[in-house]
Amino acid sequence: MDLFDDQLADLHLPVRIGSDAALLQALQHMAIADGAVDHAFIDQSTTGFDAFAEARQELDWSRIESDTGLERALIKEAASMLNGSKATIACWAMGLTQHRNGVAVIQEVVNLLLLGGHVGRPGAGFCPVRGHSNVQGDRTVGIWEAPSDAFLDAMQKGTGIEMPRHHGYDVVNAIRGMERGDVDVLMAMGGNLVSAAPDTDRTAAAIGKVGLVVHVSTKPNRSHMIPTKGDVLVLPCLGRTELDLQNGVAQFVTVENSMGIVHRSQGRLSPASKELKSEPWIVAELAARTFGVDVVPWNELSQDYDAIRSMIEASIPGFDDYNTRVRTPNGFELPNPPRDAAQFNTPSGRAGFSLHDLPHLEPQHGGTHIMMTLRSHDQYNTTIYGLADRYRGVKGNRRVVFMNATEMAERGWKTGHSVDLVSHWTDGERRSDGWLLIPYAIPRGNLASYFPEANVLVPLDSTAVVSNTPTSKWIEISFAKPQASDDGEE
């Protein structure tokens, strides 16, 4: 079945990797040219429109077509659909964020929706698909390396804990810190850092320099196997599907979905072992033994999760009457000022149009192709449940590279041809051998391979401007010559 048949999409625009900004600027140009602009919304709720509109008056169509690999007619067809829409939702995930200009691309998405006033009306708005509930909810409750002073003030008032004011590490900087020997303790709540992070070998070596590594996990994973200079503790915990009893009372946790809905999550299955402890219990027990219970009654919190939610209510806006509202059948919505009142978290309270130059889309560091990583149907993050990717019709193998069929034919390569890959960055090269080629409907000059298998090729220091997100959707690749065997033969 064609992945993009009429069952899934009315129109598919197969852009070249990294050309999202070019496509979005073309759509903005045509929105202005066609008069598909909500001036009332723009005048009331935005800033910077005049300069933006002037910059979008002219468009280098030859550059747009070259960058995107799309014909102008196809882009205009998409523009016609957008310009005729009364309510547009823009959804995006890592395909937009994991580029050097990832932040700028998201701002181009914002520009496009602001033009049509697609904010604060039913069926319209921005929808970053942030993955599972842990990703969405963690940021809401402050799992962030650089929270604002206002957020920390509220947390300090609500918890009674004096909050540290220095900023911490994001993932990339945490790995760099471990490399330098600046990290004494690494505690991982679930997850599989060595597989999820870029530059697999470098990440593993960095973790090996930490004196104490503590994993809280539901099942073994590769990160648990990394030897370190000190101790490694693996603390098994209850899964979210397992019954969590504290003093004989069933507990539940809450999660937040991509729409900002907070709702209950309660396990029903019998635990795999009666010895398993919950994540809240483990954290509270470690905290009580490390810091004592004079300021925070850690043991009380671990016995009644309503008490934890009461502390969240006292610390974070939007969680009023938390324990009551979360017990309603569908949970509750968190405040969303852009949606609810067209109010934005900016000094002016308005959304700002932004202007960005288009990036260069040719390899700059010695590569011949640009590769992106992607996921299959039978996986959840780094956990691989099977070897059948029904999205792409691949079975039995994940160490594959998707390549343009015409390009393969020009090189005399057929399905299953074995290649070795080298990625290029300013700090040198990374090599990974033994990949099989599969012809696929992907633009010339582009390749795709599975995450996390191809993470070994993602340079740690190639990150997005501002966000510092690894550029897993922009990896410069060349095909390497086979290495000589021990007997001198290739």
**Mean pLDDT value across residues 248-272:** 93
For residue 137, is pLDDT > 90?
no
Write out pLDDT tens, residues 170-201: 999 999 999 999 999 999 998 899 999 999 99
For residue 249, is pLDDT > 50?
yes
Q: Cis bond leading into 452, ω under 30°?
A: yes
Write out pLDDT tens, residues 423-461: 999 999 999 999 999 999 999 999 999 999 999 999 999
Confidence of residue 475 (pLDDT cuts 50, 70, 90): very high
C-alpha–C-alpha distance, residues 291 and 453, integer Å: 40
**Mean pLDDT value across residues 296-314:** 96
Pairing of strands 369-374, 446-450: parallel
Task: Tell me the residue length of the chain.
Answer: 490
For residue 409, is pLDDT > 50?
yes
**Mean pLDDT value across residues 469-488:** 82
The predicted pLDDT at position 139 comes to 83
Strand order in the sheet with 185-189: 185-189, 212-217, 231-236
DSSP H helical segments within 7-132, as ranges? 20-33, 39-45, 49-55, 61-68, 72-83, 94-97, 102-115
- Quick one: which of 393, 468, 429 has its CA closest to 167? 468
Q: Which long-range contacts (CB under 8 A, 24 or more apart) does 390-399 make?
A: 391/3, 392/3, 392/438, 392/440, 394/438, 397/436, 398/450, 398/453, 399/434, 399/435, 399/436, 399/450, 399/453
Direct distance between the N- and C-terminal alpha carbons of the chain, in angstroms, rounded to an integer = 40
Query: What would the two tokens of residue 268 be?
Result: 């029903």
Burial class (CB within 10 angstroms; exposed 0-12, middle 13-18, buried 19+) of 328: exposed
For residue 414, is pLDDT > 90?
yes
The predicted pLDDT at position 1 comes to 36
- Quick one: which of 346, 354, 301 has its CA closest to 56? 354
**Mean pLDDT value across residues 54-65:** 96
**Mean pLDDT value across residues 267-294:** 96
In one-letter notation, the amino acid at residue 404 is N
Do residues 442 and 403 touch, judged by C-beta distance below 8 A? Answer: yes
**Whole-structure pTM value:** 0.92
Confidence of residue 6 (pLDDT cuts 50, 70, 90): low
Confidence of residue 489 (pLDDT cuts 50, 70, 90): very low
Q: What proportion of the chain, given as a percentage, has pLDDT over 70?
A: 96
For residue 25, is pLDDT > 50?
yes
Do residues 454 and 373 touch, judged by C-beta distance below 8 A? Answer: yes
The predicted pLDDT at position 135 comes to 74
C-alpha–C-alpha distance, residues 408 and 406, integer Å: 5
C-alpha–C-alpha distance, residues 312 and 467, integer Å: 27
- Enumerate domains of the chain plus CATH numbers: 20-129+344-352 (3.40.228.10), 133-334 (3.40.50.740), 369-480 (2.40.40.20)
Query: What would the two tokens of residue 59 be?
Result: 């468009």
C-alpha–C-alpha distance, residues 457 and 470, integer Å: 12
Write out pLDDT tens, residues 286-295: 999 999 999 9
Write out pLDDT tens, residues 84-98: 999 999 999 999 999
**Mean pLDDT value across residues 45-71:** 97
Task: Compute CA 1 distance to the chain's CA centroid, rounded to the nearest angstrom.
Answer: 28
Confidence of residue 381 (pLDDT cuts 50, 70, 90): confident
Do residues 446 and 372 touch, judged by C-beta distance below 8 A? Answer: yes
The predicted pLDDT at position 490 comes to 43
Strand partners, 440: 404
Q: What's the helix, strand, coil split of the chain in %, to 5? A: 35, 20, 45
Strand partners, 450: 374
The predicted pLDDT at position 133 comes to 59
**Mean pLDDT value across residues 118-146:** 85
Write out pLDDT tens, residues 321-345: 999 999 999 999 999 999 998 899 9
Strand partners, 373: 449
For residue 38, is pLDDT > 70?
yes
